[in-house]
Amino acid sequence: MSTGTPSRIVIVGAGPAGIRAAQTLVAAGLRPTVLDENARWGGQIYRQPAAGAGFSRTKAALYGFEAKKADAVHRAMAELLPKIDYRPDTLAWSCEPGRLDTLREGREASVPWSHLIIASGATDRIVPLPGWTLPGVYTHGGAQVALKAQGCAIGQRTVFAGTGPLLYLVAYQYAKAGAQVAAVLDTSPFARQASCAPKLLNQPGTFAKGVYYVAWLKAHGVRMEHGVSLAAIEGDEAVRHIRWHSADGKEHAIACDAVGLGYGLRPETQLADLAGCRFAFDALNRCWLPERDASGRSSVPGVYLAGDGAGIAGADAAELAGRRAALAVLEDLGIAAPRDAHAPDANAIEKQLARIARFRAGIEEAFAPPANCAANWPDDLTLCRCEEVDAGTLRSCIRNGFASDVNRLKALTRIGMGRCQGRMCGESAAALLSAETGKPLHEVGRLRSQAPIKPIPISPMLFDDGVQVIEEEAHDE
Amino acid sequence: MSTVTPQPLAQLVRVAETARARVSFVLDGVEVQALAGDTILTAILTQQRHVRRSEFSGEPRAGFCLIGACQDCWVCSEDGTRLRACSTPLREGMRVLTRFHTDSEMNGGGAR
Amino acid sequence: MNDTRHFEVVIAGGGLVGASAALALARKGVSVGLFERRFCGAQASGVNYGGVRTHGRSAEQLPLAVRARRVWSRLPELIGTDGEFVVSGHLRLARRDSDVDALHAWSAMAREFGVESQVMSGAAFRRRYPWVGQAATGGALCASDGQANPRLVSPGFAAAARRAGAHVQEQTALSDLSFDGRGFQMRAGDARISADWLINASGAWANTVAGAFGETVPMKPIYPNMWVTEPLPRFIQHNVGVYGGGVYARQVERGNCVIGGGRGHGDGEYAQPSTATTRAVMRDACALLPGLRDALLIRTWSGVEGETPDSNPIIGFSTTTPRLLHAFGFSGGGFLLAPGVGEVLAELVTEGATSTPIEAFAIGRFTQSSVHAALPIK
């Protein structure tokens, strides 16, 4: 980066990672642009209800044990506002070298960048089962957002199913808020969770909270089952009950009108992909992640990755990684890091992140999604919700020898071609391909991201009076 | 096995923050009430159990992720504007449709 | 040499041209080896617009186009699937009255080749096409044209070739190509291959093979930009283009609209779409098809295509090497033609000649003196 060129630092995502990155850069005297798709900063875990609408719950009510951290993150961002170019309600839908394309309230704008910090966060990891597309089935994250941001439970009587620490947290939050939790069905065996305790004790505070949620649920009579396998969610036009098998193989059913379903989180990596970052298969997370070093630098000079958007590690890690990525930007710009007795330096951050990584390894092991589900998916199970492509269609294509790679499978069966661009089905497609071909997950390919990373209306394209005319020689018929 | 009887008419249940101002809007031609600060998805699903129907099977959908990732909650306003229900705030007087325009409405484009 | 595998014909490139040639030859009992360095039908053949269009083609292309169109009608019989081919007709819009005149002129010319198109304008045009915007004053309909799904058709030909007995090998690049006076020698990955005939059907990369035999052509890579919308209620009844080009659009049975126009970027190997192009093309598309205005775009892409100075392909015998055939450089118009080109290539191999006129596509038209100074011919 030549010293004569003004730097334009852009941060995508105003969750804990993006906020701490912005804070670090501002402390060093810079003025980053912060883009966020939501109306208010905080990301998902520290999501705030809409302003000015009369929401009145306290932070303690909204965030429980995390209230102090949430508040600190919120205040940090509030203090930054006069010193940054903050653009909420802004979707970054494409990325090219040096430029992001964005959409805000029906108008599009190009945002140039010299340094890009991608803090794009995560969504729930999904394992489909019959009935998962029925009204009433939501992800754990979705169930949390309904409660936190809208004051709603996803149903009158909810079963929480799947696995992961979020399973217990959201069930606890619901029960505490007075919503009826019919059961918590954990596909992970309890014994496995117990055996992971040593790794989990790398974050004793977090571990203790997890133990607390479980104990609280038990004390309040919420039914909890471990080592279950989920059979189907059923109902005519919406959820009526969920069928499942206990560890001893017996079949059960629980009446409910909502199911919270999830198996941990998966990073949102589409912008990193469009930015040209190199990806590698991460065995622990069972998915492809953009490569980053301990500082958060990606394989592309000028592109940095922080938070759950590059690998699931939780909100505390996101705050640290956001700051570390900003320090990397400063190093690369030849600007001295801000002196701050309260904020950890690069070495301290990396040590702490390594500790958290050991904890995360324990989480992934304790709450691993059930293995070999794909082999048992019925042919009529919808894998791609957007395009309604079922498992049988994929199997037929694979067994006829037409596809041994997930992009090929997409081209031939349409899986991943719908509005969600494979967020909800990409891993299912890979899992089925792996099960059918016998190839390990990392050898069946990675679904390539394509712009726009979320659907955009055509109409914003029509406003720009400076639009170029198609060059003469490009007038194909 | 007991079932939830009678079947609920709405999907989402308000368990907190019910003291907010009322907002009215039009859903599939019928005026209904919601609360200030609701997303379109919340406003619809506190009335009924679906926000759209799959264009292929016609099966009902009610969103899934609620954070703008799954793209399963797109509705539109009566003027044709697409709205992602979980991430769009409800405004007073909005006229929302849970299904697309019909063929004849698509043909009216010539006059625009 | 018993460690060299021999074929009567080796085809370099598993796109639609190579695959349809492989099928046509295998059906005639010829031993064929088709080699594709990535996946069959996944390059331009698999990511193009999907228009099956004779409409608007030049007189020199029409005989080949008409022949190819006949093959399209036989897809289920030939490759076991219809590839979602629909005879939707092609509507070529006119932006101004002089364009309508041009449509009339083309219609008269094309009739000589057995292609019918009906020109409309004024009130009759408006009544018939309420979904076409004010930016069009008229149009011509070629009812025999249509559209198909390139993602299914192109690999489908390769699969059919394999079933018909062709050796089809993906993820295998050919290298060290030479002619030893009697036949062709080459490497396919690690293996040694020999052939009596070599067909160069390697698309945008065909100059690599052509260059091995001393006859590169002035072909440059272009990156046509494509988009697809969410599924919409049916309103675009034909495959739509516009006289003078710049935008084309079709609606598939599931309701998505596929839109093409302008250029993305690329490096010769891979292509990326362009936002600037999106703005320009969407304005045009919405002026012509206003029903698109509120639609959501869900994906954009581009691909690598080879374009020649006169936008005509190179088809026919090499000028330097016996039994070397070239078939590439389709300049964005290859999807309709390719199944016909396959049959033509098979005829050239088995009979030495073809009934379809292809002189206009001779590689020799790009002589040494014009190789580096080629001007676009309009």
What is A15-62 written as a DSSP string? SHHHHHHHHHHHHTT---EEE-SSSSSSTTTT--PPTTS-----HHHH
Instruction: Kindly tell me if the per-residue pLDDT of B26 is higher than 50.
Output: yes
What CATH number does residue A413 fall under? 1.10.10.1100
Q: Could you write out the DSSP letters of every residue in C107-164?
A: HHHHHTTT---EEEEHHHHHHH-TTS-TT--EEEEETT-EE--HHHHHHHHHHHHHHT
Amino acid B107: pLDDT:
53
SS3 B17: coil
B70/A420 touch (CB, cutoff 8 Å), yes or no = yes
Predicted structure pTM score = 0.94
At A384-438, the pLDDT tens digits run 999 999 999 999 999 998 899 999 999 999 999 999 999 999 999 999 999 999 9
Domain span at residue B72 reads 22-98
Residues near A297 by beta carbon (within 8 Å), at least 6 away in sequence: A303, A304, A305, A325, A328
Is-contact C120 C140, C-beta < 8 A?
A: yes
Q: What's residue C274's pLDDT? A: 93
Residue A309 maps to which CATH number? 3.50.50.60
* CA–CA min distance C368, chain B (Å): 52
| Residues in a beta bridge with A242 | A233, A254
DSSP state, A324?
H
- How confident is the model at residue B102, as a pLDDT? 57
Q: How many CB atoms neighbour CB C39 within 10 A?
A: 20
Q: How many residues does this entry show for chain A?
A: 477
Phi, psi torsion values for A224, nearest 5 degrees:
-130, 135
User: Which CATH number fits the domain that encloses residue B44?
Assistant: 3.10.20.740
Q: Residue B89: inside a domain, yes or no?
A: yes
Per CATH, is C90-143+224-302 categorized as 3.40.718.10?
no
Q: C97: buried, middle or exposed (CB in 10 Å: 19+, 13-18, 0-12)?
A: exposed
B76 vs C233: CB contact, 8 Å cut-off? Answer: no
CA torsion sign for C242, C246, C251, C257 is negative
Question: Which of C65, C50, C48, C129 is CA-nearest to residue C94?
Answer: C129
pLDDT at A174: 98
pLDDT of residue C376: 47
Residue A463's pLDDT is 78
Strand-pairing partners, residue C326, are C200, C316
Contacts of C107 (CB under 8 A, 6+ apart): C116, C117, C118, C119, C140
The residue of B64, B72, B92 whose CB has the most chain A CBs within 10 angstroms, and thus the best one to mutate to test that interface, is B64
Residue B108's pLDDT is 45
Low-confidence ranges of chain A (pLDDT < 50): 1-2
Q: How many domains does chain B have?
A: 1
Distance CA C294, CA C287 (A): 13
DSSP states along A232-253: EEE-SSS--EEEEE-TTS-EEE
pLDDT tens sequence across A422-435: 999 999 999 999 99
State the Cα–Cα distance between residues C298 and C293, nearest whole angstrom.
Answer: 14
- B-contacting residues in A 160-219 (Cβ below 8 Å): 177-179
Closest Cβ opposite residue B67 in set A134, A145, A154: A145
User: What letter does residue C16 receive in the DSSP assignment?
Assistant: H
Q: What is the pLDDT of residue A202?
A: 83
3-state SS, residue A177: coil
Task: Say if residue A57 is in the same domain as residue A72.
Answer: yes
Q: Facing residues of A87 across strands? A: A35
A256 at interface of B, judged by CB pairs closer than 8 A: yes
Cβ within 8 Å, pair A411-C46: yes
For residue A320, tell me if it sits in a domain. Answer: yes
Q: Is the minimum CB–CB distance between C241 and chain A shorter than 8 Å?
A: yes
- Is the minimum CB–CB distance between C229 and chain A shorter than 8 Å? yes
A405: nearest CA in chain C? Answer: C39
Of C131, C133, C134, the CB nearest to B106: C131
- My answer on whether A275 and A286 are in the same domain is yes
Whether residues A135 and A255 fall in one domain:
yes
Q: Do B15 and A457 touch (CB under 8 A)?
A: no
Contacts of A39 (CB under 8 A, 6+ apart): A50, A51, A88, A89, B89
Q: Determine the Cα–Cα distance for residues A411 and C84; give it in Å rounded to an integer.
A: 14
Chain C's closest residue to A404, CA to CA, is: C39
**Token pair listed for C226:** 């494509």
Per-residue pLDDT of A149-171, as tens digits, reads 999 999 999 999 999 999 999 99
Range(s) of chain C covered by CATH 3.30.9.10 = 90-143+224-302
CB contact under 8 Å between B109 and C293, yes or no, is yes
Interface list for A 447-466 with B (CB within 8 A): 454-455, 457, 459
- Is residue A116 located within the same domain as residue A183? no
Task: Report whether the peptide linkage leading into residue A135 is cis, meaning its omega lies within 30 degrees of zero.
Answer: no
Domain final residue pick, A363, A394, A416: A363
Q: Which residues contact residue C142 at a Cβ distance below 8 angstroms, ignoring those fewer than 6 apart?
A: C53, C54, C55, C89, C90, C92, C115, C116, C117
Q: What are the start and end residues of each CATH 3.50.50.60 domain in chain C?
A: 4-50+151-216+309-366
**Minimal CA separation from C286 to chain A, in Å:** 8
Contact indicator for A475, C246 with CB cutoff of 8 Å = yes
In degrees rounded to 5, what are phi and psi of residue A258? Answer: -155, 145
Residues A38 and A114 in one domain: yes
Distance of CA A409 to the CA centre of its chain: 24
What does the DSSP 8-state code read for residue A401?
A: T
Residues of A in contact with C300 (CB under 8 A): 450-452
Is C296 at the interface with chain B, CB within 8 A?
A: yes
SS3 label, residue A393? helix
C46: which 2 tokens?
């698999």
Give, as one character, the DSSP assignment of residue C246. Answer: S
Topology, domain C4-50+151-216+309-366: FAD/NAD(P)-binding domain (3.50.50)
- Taking CA atoms, what residue in B is nearest to A51? B37
Q: What is the pLDDT along chain C (378 residues), one digit of tens a residue?
A: 458 999 999 999 999 999 999 999 999 999 999 999 999 999 999 999 999 999 999 999 999 999 999 999 999 999 999 999 999 999 999 999 999 999 999 999 999 999 999 999 999 999 999 999 999 999 999 999 999 999 999 999 999 999 999 999 999 999 999 999 999 999 999 999 999 999 999 999 999 999 999 999 999 999 999 999 999 999 999 999 999 999 999 999 999 999 999 999 999 999 999 999 999 999 999 999 999 999 999 999 999 999 999 999 999 999 999 999 999 999 999 999 999 999 999 999 999 999 999 999 999 998 654 444 444 444
pLDDT of residue B112: 33
Identify the bridge partners of residue C169 per DSSP, sorted by sequence position.
C35
Side chain identity at residue C319, one-letter code: T
- Closest-approach residue (CA) in chain B for C128: B107
Sign of CA dihedral C314, C320, C321, C322: positive
So what's the ipTM on this one?
0.95
Residues A326 and A415 in one domain: no
- State residue A2's pLDDT score: 46
- The neighbour count for residue C241, using CB atoms within 10 Å, is 30
| 3 state SS of C243 | coil
Which structural domain range is residue A135 located in? 128-263
Token pair of A120 as six digits: 């794009």
Q: Is the dihedral of CA A178, A234, A167, A312 positive or negative?
A: negative
- Give chain C positions within 8 Å (CB) of A461: 278-279, 282-283
CB burial string A133-168: b at 16+ within 10 A, e below:
bbbbbbbbbbbbbbbbbbbbbbbbbbbbbbbbbbbb
Chain B residues near residue C134 by CB distance under 8 angstroms: 110
Q: Which chains touch B (3 or more CB pairs under 8 A)?
A: A, C
CA distance A68 to chain C (A): 40
C224-231 vs C220-222, strand pairing mode: unpaired
